[in-house]
A = this chain, B = another copy of it.
Amino acid sequence: MNKFIRVDMTTMKVTTEEVPAKYAGLGGRALTSNFINDEVKPTCHALGKNNKLIFAPGLLSGTTAPNSGRLSVGGKSPLTGTIKESNTGGSFSQKMAKMGIKALVVEGMPSDDKYYVIKIDIKGVTIDEAPAEILGGCGNYRAIEVLSEKYGEKVGIGLAGPAGEHRLPSANISFKDPEGNIRSAGRGGLGAVMGSKRVKAIVIDDTGAGAVAVADPEKFRAAAKVFAKAILDHPVSGQGLAAYGTDVLINILNEAGGLPAYNFTAGRIDHNDNICGETLNAVITERGGEGKVSHGCHAGCIMRCSQWYPDKQGKYITSGFEYETIWGLGADAGIKDLDEIAYIDREMDDIGVDSIETAVAVATAMEGGLLPWGDGKAVLEAVKEIRTATPLGRILGSGTSVVGKVCGLYRTPVVKDQGIPAYDPRPVKGIGLTYATSTMGADHTAGYCISGNILKVGADIDPLKKDGQIEYSRAMQIGTAAVDSTGMCLFVYFGIADNPGGYQALIDMINAQYGISLTAEDVDKLGESVLKVERAFNKAAGFTNAHDRLPEFFEYEPCPPHNVVWDFTPEEIDEVYAFEKEEALNS
């Protein structure tokens, strides 16, 4: 990957450079975060002309390495005001990598009010006016059809949906998956940044591109085999996720008393059977038709944790139907009907809003009296209003923090204005530390301490106790920052956490591809360096340790059934990023 493409939407000029030397060894999140910290003024307005959007495949994307097809999207977030890396499946990343594109940067802002499509193929980059029929409320499913018809069935597509056109803080960037359905770079509102730059879609056609160059193909193949086996041998990544999807977590978290319910007033629900992964599997199996129990979000995925969820007639409703969304609508907002949840999930995908942020916002709106508790039909109608940008639609599309403000709530579950997902930080303390300190705002994927706290993968730490959590959240955040730089799906962690050979195989693949000799320590250093760069950006944007805090109500409202509160002191929380301090002292 030797191309670094910049599209300037102010001048409508495209430049293709050699990859700057300082970015040569970076991919995915390491590249997007370094670039944003280098080129974006931290105090700029996220929706103004000085923000930039960068799309970067991971180091291993485009190769035959299993599960390496994730794409990182970076920018300053209009939701949090922090730096943001949001990553996604779909086919975009692999196509970029195969075409040798290390990064695509979108900068500036046109002075007219048209929308544009950036089209990339082996001949170069063009900027077309967007077809009128995909604008002004056209859903993402239809827009993908129209663009695929126009540019070719096999193109990759990244898309700002109606929410992105409205520049709402929860707008995601939607990506076409191999079957023409939707994956999302969900969190942090980067779809609004794309909308602000008047880019409706980016289309990538890799026809004629070769394979990704691999320095030592034989070593690569051998390592990939070991790596694949490690993933498939593990009960979570090899079986659980394929059978029940991520929704397998409903019963696990409910049992653990860490499933936030009714806007974080409890950690357990009674209607878990209605919405759990086991039920999801049974419904899909029973309904048949277009339903699929197991499906991958990108070519080369061997875990296949996604499903196609069908209606009673067997017709596809939605896919990428994740635990966090089902939790948000089903437990936190109390909607007891999985079909209702599925239709809301489809609507969110079609409009292009983050289904985690929006689900948490919905539950918060219920506490604020804007919506009736548990009423899936009312929620679907309300979510539809995001498309037309009614006042209610704008509120819900602006995320949990705005909902809390307009409803005058102090029980607003956000960190750095990003909604807290799916795992209560009081009875699962490790994830609480990640929420508090992540550079991204509350984000479970930034350091998934559920693993060692609840699933007992990679570590065995009592979720109700503080012991060991600080070091654990730190290690998980560092490791994640590294994995997010490889193009790997985060779930590969399950396969390699307790399998040193699997982990070594991941490093071996990178070494074989690039003809280098990274060690495990180097990978750790990479992760640390990514977090430091992100913290530097955030600090310059005005963030301090005072922002690394959970909402105050967690400190004095015990969470049943364990009736525990959030009891880390500010000083303890700040220890998570101790490596930053040590560096400063040593320098």
Q: Chain A interface (Cβ within 8 Å of chain B)?
A: 42-50, 78, 166-169, 192, 195-196, 370, 390-392, 394-395, 397-398, 402, 405-410, 412, 540-544, 546-547, 549, 551-553, 556
Q: Give Cα distance in the complex from A522 to B410, angstroms.
A: 40
Residues of B within 8 A of A391 (CB): 370, 390-392, 394-395, 406
A212 CB, nearest partner CB in chain B, Å: 37
Residues of B within 8 A of A412 (CB): 45
Cross-interface CB contact of A410 among B48, B408, B546, B549, cutoff 8 Å: B48
What are 16 A-B contacts with C-beta separation under 8 Å?
A42-B546, A45-B410, A47-B409, A48-B410, A49-B556, A166-B408, A167-B407, A196-B410, A370-B391, A394-B395, A395-B406, A397-B406, A402-B406, A540-B546, A541-B546, A542-B547
Cross-interface CB contact of A405 among B390, B398, B543, B552, cutoff 8 Å: B398
Q: Give Cα distance in the complex from A551 to B44, angstroms.
A: 8
| 3 nearest A-B residue pairs (beta carbon) | A167-B408, A542-B546, A391-B391
Q: Give Cα distance in the complex from A521 to B541, angstroms.
A: 37
Closest to A41 in B: B552
A48 CB, nearest partner CB in chain B, Å: 4
Q: Are B408 and A192 in contact (CB under 8 A)?
A: yes
Residues of B within 8 A of A169 (CB): 405, 408
Q: Give Cα distance in the complex from A547 to B547, angstroms.
A: 14
Residues of B within 8 A of A410 (CB): 45-48, 196
A555 CB, nearest partner CB in chain B, Å: 9
Residues of B within 8 A of A45 (CB): 410, 412, 551-553
Residues of B within 8 A of A544 (CB): 542, 544
Q: Give Cα distance in the complex from A402 to B168, angstroms.
A: 11
Closest to A369 in B: B389
Residues of B within 8 A of A192 (CB): 408
A401 CB, nearest partner CB in chain B, Å: 9
Q: Are B50 and A552 in contact (CB under 8 A)?
A: yes
A309 CB, nearest partner CB in chain B, Å: 30
Cross-interface CB contact of A48 among B392, B402, B405, B552, cutoff 8 Å: B552
Residues of B within 8 A of A543 (CB): 542
Residues of B within 8 A of A552 (CB): 43-45, 48, 50
Residues of B within 8 A of A542 (CB): 542-544, 546-547
Q: Are A407 and B395 in contact (CB under 8 A)?
A: no
Q: Give Cα distance in the complex from A544 to B538, angstroms.
A: 12
Residues of B within 8 A of A167 (CB): 407-409
Q: Give Cα distance in the complex from A407 to B50, angstroms.
A: 19
Say whether, besides A43-B549, A391-B390, A402-B402, A168 and B540 are in contact (CB < 8 Å): no
Cross-interface CB contact of A394 among B390, B397, B406, cutoff 8 Å: B406
A549 CB, nearest partner CB in chain B, Å: 6
Residues of B within 8 A of A49 (CB): 556
A340 CB, nearest partner CB in chain B, Å: 22
Cross-interface CB contact of A406 among B43, B398, B547, B551, cutoff 8 Å: B398
Cross-interface CB contact of A43 among B392, B409, B546, B553, cutoff 8 Å: B546
Q: Give Cα distance in the complex from A43 to B42, angstroms.
A: 23
Cross-interface CB contact of A408 among B195, B395, B409, B549, cutoff 8 Å: B195
Closest to A549 in B: B43
Closest to A412 in B: B45
Residues of B within 8 A of A394 (CB): 370, 391, 395, 406-407
Closest to A393 in B: B391
Closest to A570 in B: B43
Residues of B within 8 A of A195 (CB): 408
A365 CB, nearest partner CB in chain B, Å: 10
